[in-house]
Amino acid sequence: MNWREIVEKYRDKIINDTVEFIGIPSKNDEANATTMAPYGPALRDALDYMMDKAKKDGFVTKEYDGHAGRLEYGTKGDVIGVVCHLDVVPEQKEGWDTQPYKGVIHDGAIYGRGSNDNKGPTIAVYYALRALIDQGLRPKNTLHMIFGCDEETKMRCMDYYKEHTDVMPVRGFVPDATFPINYGEQGIATLAMKCTLPQSITSFKAGEHAHIVAQDAYATINSAPDNIEELFRFFLVQQNLKGEIDKIDDEYNIHVQGIAAHGSRPFQGKNAACALLSFLGACLSVEKVTEISRLIENWQGRGFDIQYKSMKTGELTLCVGNVELVDNVLNCTIDIRYPVDVDFEKMVDKMIAKGVSIDKNFEILVEENRLGSFEDPTTPYIVKLEEIYRKHSNDEKTPMKVSAGDTYARKFDGLVTYGPTTSEHLKMKHIGQAHMPNEGMDIETLMMGCAIYAEALAYLLDCE
């Protein structure tokens, strides 16, 4: 079957449904949670959107008290799982050329929060399944397409689902990363770092999400050299950054604008928090602040001397997200992605020892540690999924890998991440990637993904 031709007739529906879906601002809002909307009313709306669509098209559906839902196709054989998430990360305050929740089509792409991560791919898989049904194919296995509502925070939705479901999938995929295949995921730790700053720094705030490189950083200082404005302009030029400095009475308000990036790819961004700390340490001549900035500024973790690279499961990365000064205590959220063969406890101990040597009040608390996952890439179904991707894309170069990303795949044995983006998509400068301003999904890439998903489902379901 020519799946690319078959799914082409769903193009308008895929685009229109993705745009419509983006219009639901499904950010976590637990302040307004209810019993059947545990992550807030917008995520209840997003779950209803997919469940109502599935019911209207005749699928059997099950819901799990607002945490998750699923549609079912088939009643026999092995259970194949495709797991998608409906929640999105908050939009940045700066950097958007369109309204994040409008869904705008421009330059061959759909722009809006969730277009890539994960609403566009969810819709693509849905219509891939519709294509199988419309072709009259009969499955020997059963598909559970599962929708979760808490992927971007703590994945509690999948914990709830696993506790309450009647059966788990034995293999399948999560359409929430890159092609060809991510057959494993690194461990992910969220750490709370605390240290003291001098009283000359009266406020400091940076970042909007724990797992996004801090794009903007703001500080107020009550003591400064006479030439601080000249020093700041030189610093911005030297670091290729943007920013502003204003004097109000005896204080200076300073803003540094960096570049946001996904927490799994901090090397693609410029961390405003680290840059501003570095500037303050230098201009105020406070070595302690300079040393603190050096601890956290290197994305490989070299400041803490925890750098590590595994041939099997990738390289350690460090991302600074939210930063805030409270009563002269700097509270800093650090996202660390680490290879599965790293001794996590020893790594944290090493970080604490390094920090205490700078500040006796230095602390690191482990807020969350998600263990990594690994599936043998020579497993027949993984080999076949790779083959399907390469046939449709003509991409023979991009390797399968273990990902630094954080998806539902780590919650299920036998599941791998499979698209929707490609190495070429990641190079499209006019499109913001997942978690970034101007997040977008190239329409042709999404349509190719739909064809890939259709053929992959036909294979996994052993259709006849």
Residue 332 φ/ψ, nearest 5 degrees: -130, 125
Q: What pLDDT is stored for residue 314 in this prediction?
A: 85
* Global pTM exceeds 0.95: no
Give residue 247's domain range: 187-370
Mean pLDDT of the chain: 96
Q: What pLDDT is stored for residue 65 in this prediction?
A: 98
Query: In sequence order, what are the beta bridge partners of 374?
Result: 184
Instruction: Report how far residue 9's alpha carbon sits from residue 6's, in angstroms, rounded to the nearest whole number.
Output: 6
Q: Are 404 and 337 in contact (CB under 8 A)?
A: yes
Share of the chain above pLDDT 70, in %: 100
User: Could you give the number of structural domains in the chain?
Assistant: 2
Is 148 in the same domain as 161? yes
Residue 335 φ/ψ, nearest 5 degrees: -105, 120
Share of the chain above pLDDT 90, in %: 92
Q: Are 358 and 144 in contact (CB under 8 A)?
A: no
Last residue of a domain, one of 370, 394, 419: 370
Is 249 in the same domain as 397? no
* 87 a catalytic residue: yes
Is 268 in the same domain as 329? yes
Cα-based angle 290, 296, 300 (whole degrees, multiple of 5): 130
pLDDT band for 458, please (50, 70, 90 cuts): very high
The residues, any chain, with a CB within 8 Å of residue 374's CB and separated by 6 or more, are 183, 184, 313, 340, 402
Instruction: Report how far residue 314's alpha carbon sits from residue 296's, in angstroms, rounded to the nearest whole number.
Output: 20
Hey, how many other C-beta atoms are within 10 angstroms of the C-beta on 246?
11
pLDDT, tens digit, 9 for 90 and up, residues 312-362: 788 999 999 999 999 999 999 999 999 988 999 999 999 999 999 999 999
Q: Which of 407, 436, 420, 427 is nearest to 112 (CA)?
A: 436
Is 258 in the same domain as 113? no
Catalytic, out of 17, 78, 87, 455: 87
Catalytic, out of 78, 151, 208, 216: 151
pLDDT, tens digit, 9 for 90 and up, residues 129-172: 999 999 999 999 999 999 999 999 999 999 999 999 999 999 99
Q: Are 365 and 192 in contact (CB under 8 A)?
A: yes
CATH number of the domain enclosing 77:
3.40.630.10
CATH number of the domain enclosing 360:
3.30.70.360
Last residue of a domain, one of 370, 386, 405: 370
Residues in the chain: 464
Is 174 in the same domain as 60? yes
Residue with tokens 């997003």: 46
* 151 a catalytic residue: yes
The residues, any chain, with a CB within 8 Å of residue 379's CB and separated by 6 or more, are none
Is 243 in the same domain as 303? yes
Is 151 in the same domain as 274? no
Q: What pLDDT is stored for residue 424 in this prediction?
A: 95
Q: What pLDDT is stored for residue 93 in this prediction?
A: 85
Is 203 in the same domain as 143? no
pLDDT band for 208, please (50, 70, 90 cuts): confident
